[in-house]
Chains A and B, each alone.
Chain A
Amino acid sequence: MTARERIAGNVAGYVDDRTGAAKWMKKNLTKVFPDHWSFLLGEICLYSFVILLLSGTFLTFWFDPSMREVVYEGSYEPLKGLEMSAAYASTLDISFEVRGGLLMRQIHHWAALIFMVGIVVHLMRVYFTGAFRKPREFNWIIGVGLLTLGIVEGFLGYSLPDDLLSGTGIRIAEAIIQALPLVGSYLAFFAFDGAFPGTAFIPRIYTVHVLLLPGIFLALITVHLMLVWYQKHTQFPGPGRTEKNVVGYPLMPVYMAKAGGFFFIVFGVTAFLGAVASINPIWLYGPYTPGQVSAGSQPDWYMGWLDGLVRMAPPIETHALGHTISWNILIPGLILPGIMFTGLALYPFIESWATGDKREHHLLDRPRNTPNRTAIGVMALTFTLVSLINGGNDIIATTFHLTINQMMWFSRIAIIVLPPIAFIITKRLCLSLQRADRDLVLHGRETGRLVRMPSGEFVEVHEPISAEKAWLLTSHEQLAPLELPEHDASGVRRAGLIKNKIRNRVSRAAAVAVPKATETERRELEGHH
């Protein structure tokens, strides 16, 4: 035993005597994680959250969340001598007087955008591979919660500097609150402590932005990761991988190195963006005054689809009993997002209801093998993308010499027409890919080698695929549709007839598949080749 080993042993022994950590550490440091690039997408969110905490803490040292009127005397000439809120003035000071302040502000904002992008791509991975199935439904719901809170947290951060753009955003948020029937006006008065903009809102959202929501984030992220730890990570199907094992590398040292390194890369990419690309240049927007607004006022991208929905809504209002109900804000601003997020959160339960599959799943699906789920996902993405595009309709109109009216009518029609078309196309594509898989298993790979037979016939030589690949293409299971009978064994009509009919119909749609190649088919064909 060298001296160094002896010292390390002594330290470890000292800690273990007092905490009993050795047993726990031994078990968990050797925990195995499967290897796939898409399993690192969630880590992008985790690391950008850490960056957000660090850079955000730096910003709080100088940011003054107050609506106190001050006269700007800083070094940015075009605003010198103007009256503005202390919140805006202190953000200008962070940008121009504090050493490294502008870089930190830009890192904070880019990290926020990357955080939200990370959540969305991670969500897409989990959805399209079916990782949300039993036993991971709770973690899916926590994930949807993180996405929702992320949108709110991002919006509050965007609102804090009290510049012209963020003030416009708050004005729209106020309008959406006011659109709530009956209670809207009172809620708005409550949130703003009186009429818009008032002096209460910025200090209030500051507390929520730096204390309440980060606290909830920390708690939810911890539970999210603990559940991954406890339930173990899902894996893609492959030789030797079953529902009962996890094939991969141990946490220590492989994943410690990979994940630790990835943190620095995420930090590096964020810092790179913060250093080379300007984001939220609040000094150009000017201080917020309710009487001013700029062309091209947009929210950050994760709110852009909401803005797009509001922008395409036709002007419909109802006046009744002295109340106005603004459907043009209520539907796109509250009802549609409500339906979307509820549907998203409940999706695991809806799917298991439709397929009748209540078993545990630890092996992931290839998206083509679940055409219905994949098609629903692409449909939802199409809907969101059309609204996101309409959120930037004025910028797109001026850039591509279109008219804003064309953009609006395109969106109004496309938001209804394109999602179903996307569903149908995706489903057909999935089935075609299944057919291609089947051909590959049965007939092998096309080599491109043409051979002329003695009879004069030309044939292309096919090469059988490897056993591994053949297994990969045939290992998935194809569930039969539920066939809930209308009558029970005694010939009595079962209760819930309509519900069962719907369930049968949905289940049949979910079970549509090209039958995968079976072993017998394969053997039969072998005689021909």
Chain B
Amino acid sequence: MKRLSRLRRHRAAGPILLIFALFTIGTTFQVASAVNNESTSIADRAVTIEEGKQIFLKGCSSCHGLNAEGGQIAPSLIGVGAASVDFQVATGRMPMADMSVQAMRKDPVYNAEQVHALATYVASLAPGPQVPGEELLNYERDGSVAEGGELFRTNCAMCHNFAAQGGALTQGKYAPTLMGVEPRHIYEAMVTGPQSMPVFSDKTITPEEKLSIIKWIKSAEAEPQLGGAALGRVGPVTEGLLVWTLGIGLLIGVAVWLAMKAR
């Protein structure tokens, strides 16, 4: 008891008690307010889903069905997840410009908020791949360029070309160029496999490897034109074109000049 009373009168007792009390109150408030937040976010989410549903009914349901169950010309969206919606709509691929073989990238029809609402609505129908968070996309900090390049050449280059410039597929389908694509959309494309692209699940390519691939694509995008004009980075076709036009053109021009009679 003597010891306790001595501590109670210690010089530091007051401040320590104060800190302790503040910490307790703070933590309690934190927990309480978090609970409160969750309940409001559930309410917000219901509103967002409703918003998304309205957009869906106006813009998407004519093809995908009133309950996203799919139809004659469009697939069911139940279980495709928020990532799929975010990729298709935020890159402007959906709504489609026309019923050609493949939806092409164009200016998006909906703004970021509307895309979020649509994605939330579709995700609410059944679980599916989520929109990746910032932590999965921090390619500037994490990932390895060289490893990403190896993975890209093994898994992606056969369609998207060695420098991610895109390439042709059968029947007019094509693998688009990856230059200027948002890291989030690259990630979502790998997870959801849009159009002709296969799904690269987290078992085939782990999230860290996906990040490395994004890091490599971004490095290819920023790569300076080493050795002169890049000629589209599509291989020898443009080189052949240049030599048959500018190259031999210059040389024949000089030959004609050399063979002219002196005046």
How many Å from the CB of A284 to the closest CB on chain B? 5
Contact, CB under 8 Å: B149 / A398: no
Contact, CB under 8 Å: B149 / A79: yes
Name B residues whose Cβ lies closer than 8 Å to a Cβ of A: 101, 145-146, 149-150, 153-154, 157-163, 165-172, 174-175, 216, 219-220, 223, 225-231, 233-240, 242-244, 246-248, 250-252, 254-256, 258-259, 261
A405 at interface by CB-CB < 8 Å: yes
How many Å from the CB of B240 to the closest CB on chain A? 3
Contact, CB under 8 Å: A296 / B258: no
Contact, CB under 8 Å: A402 / B243: no
B170, B175, B234, B243 — which one has the most chain A CB atoms within 10 A of its CB? B243
- Residue of B with least CB distance to A262: B258
Tell me how many residue pairs across A and B have CB atoms closer than 8 Å: 203
- Residue of B with least CB distance to A266: B251
A77 at interface by CB-CB < 8 Å: yes
Please, could you name 10 A-B residue pairs with CB atoms under 8 Å apart, sorted by A?
A77-B219, A106-B227, A278-B227, A280-B239, A281-B227, A289-B154, A295-B166, A296-B162, A301-B236, A402-B172
A-B contacts besides A78-B220, A292-B157, 4 pairs, CB < 8 Å: A269-B251, A278-B228, A298-B236, A301-B236
How many Å from the CB of B263 to the closest CB on chain A? 14
Name A residues whose Cβ lies closer than 8 Å to a Cβ of B: 35-41, 44, 77-82, 95, 102, 106, 110, 113-114, 117-118, 121, 164-165, 258, 261-262, 265-266, 269, 273-281, 283-286, 289, 291-301, 304, 391-395, 397-398, 401-406
In the bound complex, residues from chain A placing their C-beta under 8 Å from that of B162 are 164-165, 284-286, 294-296
Contact, CB under 8 Å: B237 / A392: yes
Contact, CB under 8 Å: A278 / B161: no
Contact, CB under 8 Å: B157 / A293: yes
Once A295-B175, A298-B236, A300-B236 are accepted as A-B contacts, the answer to whether A78 and B149 lie under 8 Å apart by CB is: yes
In the bound complex, residues from chain A placing their C-beta under 8 Å from that of B236 are 165, 280, 298-301, 304
Of A79, A275, A295, which contacts B157 at CB under 8 A?
A: A295
- Residue of A with least CB distance to B227: A278
Contact, CB under 8 Å: B242 / A102: no
Contact, CB under 8 Å: B259 / A40: yes
B-side interface mostly: helix
The CA of A114 and the CA of B219, in the complex, are separated in Å by 33
How many Å from the CB of A303 to the closest CB on chain B? 9
How many Å from the CB of B203 to the closest CB on chain A? 19
Contact, CB under 8 Å: B161 / A77: no
Contact, CB under 8 Å: B145 / A294: no
The CA of A392 and the CA of B235, in the complex, are separated in Å by 10
How many Å from the CB of A150 to the closest CB on chain B? 14
The CA of A403 and the CA of B101, in the complex, are separated in Å by 10
The CA of A401 and the CA of B263, in the complex, are separated in Å by 51
Once A78-B145, A117-B243 are accepted as A-B contacts, the answer to whether A278 and B226 lie under 8 Å apart by CB is: yes
How many Å from the CB of A34 to the closest CB on chain B? 10
Contact, CB under 8 Å: B258 / A113: no
Contact, CB under 8 Å: B170 / A404: yes
Of B174, B219, B239, B246, which contacts A78 at CB under 8 A?
A: B219
Contact, CB under 8 Å: B258 / A121: no
Contact, CB under 8 Å: B170 / A405: yes
Contact, CB under 8 Å: A403 / B171: yes
How many Å from the CB of B202 to the closest CB on chain A? 21
- Residue of B with least CB distance to A105: B227
Contact, CB under 8 Å: A37 / B146: no
- Residue of B with least CB distance to A388: B240
The CA of A323 and the CA of B147, in the complex, are separated in Å by 42
The CA of A39 and the CA of B165, in the complex, are separated in Å by 42
- Residue of B with least CB distance to A300: B236
In the bound complex, residues from chain B placing their C-beta under 8 Å from that of A404 are 168-172
In the bound complex, residues from chain B placing their C-beta under 8 Å from that of A292 are 153-154, 157-158
How many Å from the CB of B163 to the closest CB on chain A? 5
- Residue of A with least CB distance to B152: A286
